[in-house]
Amino acid sequence: MLFYLISILVVLVDQTAKWLVRTHMELGEKIPFWSPHLQFVYYENSGAAFSSFQGYGKYFSIIAVVFVAAVFYYRRQGRIRGPLLEAASGFLVGGALGNAIDRVIYHQVTDFLVFGNRGGILNLADLAINAGAILIVVYLLVDHFGHKVAR
């Protein structure tokens, strides 16, 4: 249940945030938020992370669908169990679907979060993917050091 709850919540929050950005900001517009270390900047990315592979976004939507299918397959096989892996896979699937929806509908991904002066720009789906990856690392570390992980 945790997997589905997180996946659906990530897609809904991500798509709502992107819709708000597209309808209330001009492309390239910057809005400081909370501190100089976090800004909203409306950007459309037709590629992948760090604006690489511009114009090839449609292929990443195919990869996202294959990834989501693989997660469902491994869940059905019982290989993804326990709260850490359920949450991790939920964040990963929700993030992948959130960006895939953008790529299919708009042929690009709406990005809007800039943290600090590093120049990278993200969206909530990207943050969910990062959260999922971190949870997998936590799971692997806990499992490696022999602590019991609830399965």
User: Which two tokens mark 106?
Assistant: 């708009």
102 assigned to active site: no
Distance CA 64, CA 81 (A): 21
Rounded to whole angstroms, what are the CA distances from 60 to 75, 85, 121, 134? 22, 23, 18, 21
Q: Residues 9, 10, 16, 20: is their CA dihedral positive or negative?
A: positive
Distance CA 117, CA 42 (A): 16
14 assigned to active site: no
Catalytic residue, chosen from 14, 102, 111, 143, is 111
- For the chain, the first-to-last Cα distance in angstroms comes to 14
Burial 3-22 (b: 16+ CB within 10 A, else e): beebbeebbeebbebbeebe
State the catalytic residues.
111, 126
